[in-house]
Amino acid sequence: MHREAYILEFGPIPDDLVIDHKCRFTLCVNPYHLEPVTQAENVLRGESIMANNARKTHCSKGHALTDDNVRLVQQKSGNFARQCILCQQNALREWRRNNRARIQDQRTQRTERDRQQRNSPWMQLFKGRSKCDQAPTHFICLRFHRKIGDAAGRHNTESGIYTPA
């Protein structure tokens, strides 16, 4: 009904525009309360959650939502949300402060595990030598020789050069 009222008063509505009620009363048919706008502008003029969030100029902590301080993040639903970078940095700093002991324990465990692996008998056996100098049955050598079709070939233990049999 409101579209017809606008058409009768002002003429046709462009194809890419929709009618917006400036008075916010959707049953109003007064053509002077109607305005053709894009769909995006019509949605942002409304009272939806998206429109309310788009109008916000500051985050909940009071930081200005400027281009320098806003990051767009895709949510699980696929929609994008604005995040205040300062709030995110403060939250991360707080989390690290609260979890410092746990983070240090994880680093210590990781370092200890790496040290145990470096000092294992297997690693000590081959320390400082090329893999093929160890023994003729070393599994890496056997895989290499099998791959090239020469199970009898060996690497020279002195020069480290492979010589086929």
pLDDT in tens, 28-83: 888 899 999 999 888 888 888 778 888 888 988 999 988 899 998 898 998 888 89
- Half-sphere exposure of 3 toward its Cβ, with a 13 Å CA cutoff? 8
Note whether 117 and 123 are within 8 A (CB). Answer: yes
Q: How many domains are contained in the chain? A: 3
Mean pLDDT within 75-103 = 90
Contacts of 9 (CB under 8 A, 6+ apart): 31, 32
Q: Residue 137 above 90 pLDDT?
A: no
Q: Which residue has the higher pLDDT, 4 or 144?
A: 4
Q: Residue 7 above 70 pLDDT?
A: yes
Residue 19 lies in a domain: yes
SS3 assignment, position 38: coil
Note whether 85 and 65 are within 8 A (CB). Answer: no
> ∠143-147-151 over CA atoms, to 5°?
70
Residue 116 lies in a domain: no
Residue 130 lies in a domain: yes
Residue 120 lies in a domain: no
Residues 51 and 66 grouped into a single domain: no
Residues 40 and 3 grouped into a single domain: yes
pLDDT, position 134: 47
Residues 42 and 64 grouped into a single domain: no
The residue written with tokens 């916000």 in the block is 56
Cα separation, 143 vs 145, in Å, equals 6
Domain span including residue 90: 57-111
Residue 22 lies in a domain: yes
Residues 24 and 46 grouped into a single domain: yes
- What separation in angstroms does the CA of 38 have from each of 17, 79, 121, 142? 5, 21, 73, 71
Note whether 70 and 85 are within 8 A (CB). Answer: yes
Q: What is the model's pTM?
A: 0.46
